[in-house]
Amino acid sequence: MAGAEGDDSLYPIAVLIDELRNEDVQLRLNSIKKLSTIALALEVERTRTELLPFLTDTIYDEDEVLLALAEQLGSFTVLVGGPEFVHCLLPPLESLATVEETVVRDKAVESLRKISQEHSPVDLEVHFVPLVKRLASGDWFTSRTSACGLFSVCYPHVSSTVKAEIRQHFRTLCSDDTPMVRRAASSKLGEFAKVLELDYVKSDIIPLFTALASDEQDSVRLLAVESGVSIATLLPQEDLEDLVMPTLRQAAEDKSWRVRYMVADKFSELQKAVGPEITKNDLVPAFQNLLKDCEAEVRTAAANKVKVFCESLPEDSRETIIMTHILPCVKELVSDTNQHVKSALASVIMGLSTILGKDNTVEHLLPLFLVQLKDEYPEVRLNIISNLDCVNEVIGIRQLSQSLLPAIVELAEDAKWRVRLAIIEYMPLLAGQLGVEFFDEKLNSLCMAWLIDHVYAIREAATCNLMKLVEKFGAEWAQNTIVPKVLGMANDSNYLHRMTTLFCINALSEVCGQEITTKHMLPVVLKMSTDQVANVRFNVARCLQKIGPVLDSSALQAEVKPVLEKLATDQDMDVKYFALDAISGMYPFISLTFQHISSQKHFHSPLYYPLQFFFFNKSAKMSTILCFSVNMGSNGCNITKSEKLKGV
Amino acid sequence: MLSPVLCSDLAALEPEYTEADVISTVEFNQTGEFLATGDKGGRVVIFQREPQGEYNVYSTFQSHEPEFDYLKSFEIEEKINKIRWLPPHNPAHFLLSTNDKTVKLWKVSEKDKRAEGYNLRDEEGRLKDLSTITTLQVPVLRPMDLLVEASPRRVFANAHAYHINSISVNSDCETYLSADDLRINLWHLNITDRSFNIVDLKPENMEDLSEVITVAEFHPHHCHLLAFSSSTGTTRLCDMRARALCDQHAKLFEEAVDPSRQSFFSEIVSSVSDVKFSHSGRYLLTRDYLTVKVWDLNMENKPMETYQVHDYLRTKLCSLYESDCIFDKFECAWNGTDSVIMTGAYNNYFRMFDRASLRDVTLEASREVCKRRAVLQPRRVCVGKKRKETDVSVDSLDFRKKILHTAWHPKENIIAIAASNNLYIFQDRLTPNGHHNTPEIQSAM
């Protein structure tokens, strides 16, 4: 420890400073993250004259350290003496803006943009703009790409001569030799256009945009599309046709599918930017072409936009355009060869029914829904089912129910457990829309079958599904239809099914209410406390804890407490643990006869902590066999709830 | 035609060598200032050109280590199959190196400063007496001896089921491709956890397999074009603009086989072992076992030029098949102006063909004949009787000595030749007026 003469308060800071250059990256990183503490201790003067010069030269470090440094410096203004001295932060950020790692550069640019706001107009011209110019004319493309993101923040605050220089620099970067710089310029073009005066947008930006949009590199052209959308929002309507549309039209028909994909992906923004007239004349045919594109990726992106595009069409001609132009394309896409296209369409097609109204939906859309419900790919069917509510509002679901049922049954029995899982999640929604009779008649048996699925994730989802169904249909329905079946499983020979009964009770007790829980469920749970499988017994303890709040205190005292007390003396340590846990958990409900035991902390068995325990603490003593399957494909992942096999 | 003079023979210091020392790839960077070699031991050696023109070792690092795939139960060799330099970013240099399964991006950088001044320790690392610490000291950077470090920046793994035979950086400088026997994947240089499969030749049933990919390369200027060649002797050009999957080629370069010359070995010897785009981007150079061909991208049905590399082996294919030599994969190279092409042969010979004058030359790279500053003497292989003293008979060729890997400086007449564990760098001897043709011998040894 520090001697009597030394300054004790310096010690922690001295350690932090020394660790700025520790061999261990983690320690350096920690130190960089506490850079503000170091700066505070050094005070503003020494921070400016010693710390920052050191940091400026340490750009050899690991990326993660540099990233942290770039982030820290963005909020360092106060620590160097306030806005008056904010320019001192420029040198280290400048060197960070030239490193080869993109994330570091981007962070440095972000921090530079942030501190540019803290510069006075004079400082901007004296310090910030020269930095931007240096970066813009740097030898390496890394610095020039960084410069592209900085023009827009200083432009509005500088004099008109400097503005002219900035525009000139930006122009130069737009025709840089390296595609990396042109990409950066292309992606920042829209942002830069926003801060420019309208005349310059027309005289400077439009030619640059046109040039970038016909660059030889696909990757430059595709970035120009997004900028084109931003530029279109800035221009008055009458200029759009001449200045932007020729280029955008060309982009929509670009030879490269990646550029067309970008157009499809940005289509709704584009539609908003150019207004209803151009939409009608230009975008509708362009959109038709994209929906018929030869590349599936493009069709997928366009299919995703069908609903939004149709919604934003001008109201007076919306229906006609959809019926005559869009719908024919949509009809073709329904039987596309590519599953991703069909599935993208299936996720939005139902939305068209609200736009087109009842008659059109019945006549034109319904046949398409029916085709998609029979599609060979489960994802397509699922997407239709998951959006049923849109159709329900317009025509009622009855129209579909005949086709719906086989589709649901098929998905419910799909060999892939993820598909089964997905359809279970839509069950409550379907039940609500189809009504209780239809449900009882057709779907109830499916819901019960899932409870004995061989994949844990399905059984778990099935119990959760039951709870939601009861919320919809009420406790009485539960008592008549599902509770008897659930309780029946308590006598199953498979311990996993017996446990499912307990899990169902966990989920159902609250929604079913006190009466059903006490009268029907509790006896079954209590009976299972003598099960020969330890897993069942400790789940009884957990179940009792869970349903405790639903029961009245007399039942707790008279029935639950003796069982838990018995379980607390079980020979299995885990059963014991959960029984004690349950007893202490029921503090408000049970008089504490076991207080002395439950306070013993060493009962906290590590085994039933969440799963990461297995992975992170390999040294744990595991006396029992853990049974889990990691085959995600066919059996699902039982890992999340390890099922302990013992005494079977 | 080039009259090469040995300027450096770098790896050739030890006459005895192990298998791990055998050079498996040679590649100049974009400026020609650096040259990288990879060997069967997984090492990468980088040479830098000194101001006087000689190449000296700049950095050596272990790029790949031998691994064992426990799931499939096979060994993954550390041998470097290909090296490709990235266009210069910043003062550091970046290169991709690959073995059979994993591509790595390396950064080779210089460090000439180090921090000095600890608060709690002196420069030797001894703890200071804490009572002496009364003020905080910020470290300062001081110059030190130049240190060249190579650090792995990215590891692109787990994307290839078969052996990677090529990597190629796209002209957009943000993507590259890696090709194995059946598939070509497209990667983003910043993203290691996913790649896109753009070509897949794997048939539903592996018994229907009729060809494998031997090489793949991007066009030097057009980011959407790539060429790949196959074991059946075809080279395909794909346009990535047309669709996301490039299974359907845009062009297929294939020469009709002359039925009179067809034999059991026809298909084996027609397998393309290397493909190089010319610097202009207009031509394709392909190497098969016996010939090297120049194709115009605009003419698919036959090559513009065909050069016989060692036609005298045509009668010896049977014994070459038995010794597996027939499967050797020779590389080929263009000179900086696309006027001369070079490729390797057996007996430590390599061949150069001048496209304009149609002259060709056979030269030998071996320790015995390569003396510093001496112009290499042309060699001649004769089939029948020796006509000259220096002629070599076909029967006395050493098929264990082969030059598979060659590289040509992107601008100047400097070539790098890898012969087993030796790397020879030859330079055209310039006359004072800058012409390239002085056959006289200069010995500086």
Structure-token pair, residue B9 = 């023979």
- Determine the residue of chain A that is closest to B241 in CA distance: A256
Distance (Å) from the alpha carbon of B437 to chain A's nearest alpha carbon: 35
Using a CB-CB distance cutoff of 8 angstroms, which residues of chain B are in contact with residue A140? 88-91
Strands B349-354, B340-344: pairing is: antiparallel
Does the distance separating the beta carbons of B119 and A17 come in below 8 Å? yes
- Measured CA to CA, the distance from residue A264 to residue A304 in angstroms comes to 9
Strand order in the sheet with B291-296: B274-277, B283-287, B291-296, B305-308
* 8-state DSSP, A639: G
CB atoms within 10 A of CB B268: 17
Q: In this complex, is the C-beta atom of B141 within 8 Å of any C-beta atom belonging to chain A?
A: yes
> Which pLDDT belongs to residue A7?
57
> Which pLDDT belongs to residue A1?
39
Does the distance separating the beta carbons of A54 and B140 come in below 8 Å? yes
The β-bridge partners of B408 are B415
- Please tell me which of the candidates B135, B140, B174 has its beta carbon nearest to residue A219: B174
* 8-state DSSP, A563: H
Tell me the count of A-B CB pairs closer than 8 A. 124
> Which pLDDT belongs to residue B38?
96
Using a CB-CB distance cutoff of 8 angstroms, which residues of chain B are in contact with residue A10? 119, 133-136
Does the distance separating the beta carbons of B131 and A6 come in below 8 Å? yes
- Domain A276-389: CATH superfamily is Leucine-rich Repeat Variant (1.25.10.10)
- Measured CA to CA, the distance from residue B344 to residue B325 in angstroms comes to 13
Q: What is the largest CA-CA distance in chain A?
A: 93
Does the distance separating the beta carbons of B113 and A57 come in below 8 Å? yes
Does the distance separating the beta carbons of A17 and B136 come in below 8 Å? yes
Among B133, B140, B151, pick the best mutation site for testing chain A contact (most A Cβ within 10 A). B133
Does the distance separating the beta carbons of A5 and B133 come in below 8 Å? no
3-class secondary structure per residue, A412-436: HCCCCHHHHHHHHHHHHHHHHHHCH
- Please tell me which of the candidates B130, B139, B241 has its beta carbon nearest to residue A256: B241
A568-594 average pLDDT score: 73
Distance (Å) from the alpha carbon of B386 to chain A's nearest alpha carbon: 55
- Please tell me which of the candidates A21, A142, A256 has its beta carbon nearest to residue B89: A142
Structure-token pair, residue B388 = 């000259």
Does the distance separating the beta carbons of B171 and A2 come in below 8 Å? no
Does the distance separating the beta carbons of A6 and B133 come in below 8 Å? yes
Among B109, B135, B171, B224, pick the best mutation site for testing chain A contact (most A Cβ within 10 A). B224
CA neighbor of A201 nearest in space, from A227, A172, A178: A227
Does the distance separating the beta carbons of B134 and A3 come in below 8 Å? no
Does the distance separating the beta carbons of B132 and A6 come in below 8 Å? yes
CA neighbor of B115 nearest in space, from B95, B140, B150: B140
> Which pLDDT belongs to residue B124?
74
Does the distance separating the beta carbons of B130 and A1 come in below 8 Å? yes
Does the distance separating the beta carbons of B132 and A102 come in below 8 Å? no
Give the dihedral of Cα atoms A108, A109, A112, A114; nearest 10 deg: -110
- Determine the residue of chain A that is closest to B113 in CA distance: A57
- Measured CA to CA, the distance from residue A372 to residue A387 in angstroms comes to 12
H/E run at residue A573: helix A573-585
Distance (Å) from the alpha carbon of B10 to chain A's nearest alpha carbon: 30
- Measured CA to CA, the distance from residue B275 to residue B227 in angstroms comes to 8
Say which amino acid occupies B67. E
A575-610 per-residue burial string, b: 16 or more CB within 10 A, e: under 16: bbbbbbbbbbbbeebbeeebeebbeeeebeeebeee
CA neighbor of B23 nearest in space, from B414, B299, B419, B291: B419
The β-bridge partners of B441 are none
Q: In this complex, is the C-beta atom of B173 within 8 Å of any C-beta atom belonging to chain A?
A: yes
Question: How far is residue B426 from each of residues A33, B55, B75, B356, B375, measured CA to CA in Å?
Answer: 52, 10, 37, 22, 9
Does the distance separating the beta carbons of A216 and B174 come in below 8 Å? no
Strands B381-382, B392-393: pairing is: parallel
Does the distance separating the beta carbons of B242 and A297 come in below 8 Å? no
pLDDT in tens, A39-48: 999 999 999 9
- Determine the residue of chain A that is closest to B93 in CA distance: A100
> Which pLDDT belongs to residue B444?
26
- Please tell me which of the candidates B90, B92, B243 has its beta carbon nearest to residue A294: B243
B106-133 per-residue burial string, b: 16 or more CB within 10 A, e: under 16: bbbbeeeeeeebbbbeeeeeeeeebeeb
- pLDDT of A615 strictly over 60: no
- Determine the residue of chain B that is closest to A61 in CA distance: B111
> Which pLDDT belongs to residue A609?
31
Confidence of residue A587 (pLDDT cuts 50, 70, 90): low
Comparing A169 with B420, the larger pLDDT belongs to A169
- Please tell me which of the candidates A1, A140, A217 has its beta carbon nearest to residue B89: A140
**B95, B28 Cβ separation under 8 angstroms:** no
Distance (Å) from the alpha carbon of B99 to chain A's nearest alpha carbon: 24
**B45, B416 Cβ separation under 8 angstroms:** no
The β-bridge partners of B84 are B96
Using a CB-CB distance cutoff of 8 angstroms, which residues of chain B are in contact with residue A42? 136, 138
> What percentage of chain A exceeds 90 in pLDDT?
45
Say which amino acid occupies A180. M
Residues 182-241 of B with CB under 8 A from A: 190, 221-224, 240-241
Q: In this complex, is the C-beta atom of B140 within 8 Å of any C-beta atom belonging to chain A?
A: yes
Confidence of residue A256 (pLDDT cuts 50, 70, 90): very high
- Measured CA to CA, the distance from residue B279 to residue B263 in angstroms comes to 35
pLDDT in tens, A352-376: 988 988 888 888 988 898 888 888 8
> Which pLDDT belongs to residue B6?
63
CB atoms within 10 A of CB A37: 14
- Please tell me which of the candidates A6, A256, A295 has its beta carbon nearest to residue B130: A6
Confidence of residue A415 (pLDDT cuts 50, 70, 90): confident
CA neighbor of A485 nearest in space, from A431, A445, A527: A445
Task: At B332, give phi and psi (nearest 5°).
Answer: -140, 165
- Which residue is listed with tokens 């992906």? A265
- Measured CA to CA, the distance from residue A19 to residue A555 in angstroms comes to 63
**A80, A52 Cβ separation under 8 angstroms:** yes
**B295, B311 Cβ separation under 8 angstroms:** no
- Measured CA to CA, the distance from residue A617 to residue A637 in angstroms comes to 20
Does the distance separating the beta carbons of A15 and B136 come in below 8 Å? no
- pLDDT of A575 strictly over 70: yes
Q: What is the largest CA-CA distance in chain B?
A: 95
- Measured CA to CA, the distance from residue A498 to residue A487 in angstroms comes to 9
Does the distance separating the beta carbons of B131 and A217 come in below 8 Å? no
Q: Look over chain A and give the mean of its residue pLDDT values, rounded to a whole number.
A: 84
- Measured CA to CA, the distance from residue B65 to residue A485 in angstroms comes to 60
- pLDDT of A225 strictly over 90: yes
Low-confidence ranges of chain B (pLDDT < 50): 11-13, 431-445
pLDDT in tens, A233-247: 999 988 998 999 999
- pLDDT of A641 strictly over 70: no
Does the distance separating the beta carbons of A98 and B139 come in below 8 Å? no
Using a CB-CB distance cutoff of 8 angstroms, which residues of chain A are in contact with residue B115? 20-21, 54, 58
Structure-token pair, residue B29 = 């960077």
**Domain ranges across chain A:** 276-389
ipTM of the complex: 0.83
A7-11, A338-342, B17-21, B119-123: least confident range = A7-11
3-state secondary structure of A275: helix
**B115, B195 Cβ separation under 8 angstroms:** no
Using a CB-CB distance cutoff of 8 angstroms, which residues of chain A are in contact with residue B110? none
The β-bridge partners of B25 are B38
Structure-token pair, residue B159 = 């994307």
Confidence of residue A646 (pLDDT cuts 50, 70, 90): very low
Does the distance separating the beta carbons of A21 and B133 come in below 8 Å? no
> Which pLDDT belongs to residue A66?
93
Does the distance separating the beta carbons of A15 and B120 come in below 8 Å? yes
pLDDT in tens, A386-397: 888 788 778 777
Does the distance separating the beta carbons of A180 and B174 come in below 8 Å? yes
- Measured CA to CA, the distance from residue A525 to residue A626 in angstroms comes to 24
Count of CA atoms in the C-beta half-sphere (13 A) of A639? 10
**B53, B7 Cβ separation under 8 angstroms:** yes
Q: In this complex, is the C-beta atom of B120 within 8 Å of any C-beta atom belonging to chain A?
A: yes
3-state secondary structure of B243: coil
H/E run at residue A348: helix A339-349
Using a CB-CB distance cutoff of 8 angstroms, which residues of chain A are in contact with residue B241? 218, 254-258
> Which pLDDT belongs to residue B438?
31
- pLDDT of A557 strictly over 90: no
> Which pLDDT belongs to residue A643?
38
- Please tell me which of the candidates A53, A98, A179 has its beta carbon nearest to residue B90: A98
- pLDDT of A210 strictly over 80: yes
Among A44, A59, A103, A216, pick the best mutation site for testing chain B contact (most B Cβ within 10 A). A216
Does the distance separating the beta carbons of A5 and B131 come in below 8 Å? yes
Give the dihedral of Cα atoms B381, B385, B387, B393; nearest 10 deg: 20
CA angle, corner A348, sides to A344 and A350, nearest 5?
130
- Measured CA to CA, the distance from residue A422 to residue A407 in angstroms comes to 13
A250-259, A289-298, B420-429: least confident range = B420-429
**What does the radius of gyration of chain B's CA atoms come to, in whole angstroms?**
24
**B436, B430 Cβ separation under 8 angstroms:** yes
> Which pLDDT belongs to residue B15?
58
- Please tell me which of the candidates B92, B130, B134 has its beta carbon nearest to residue A100: B92
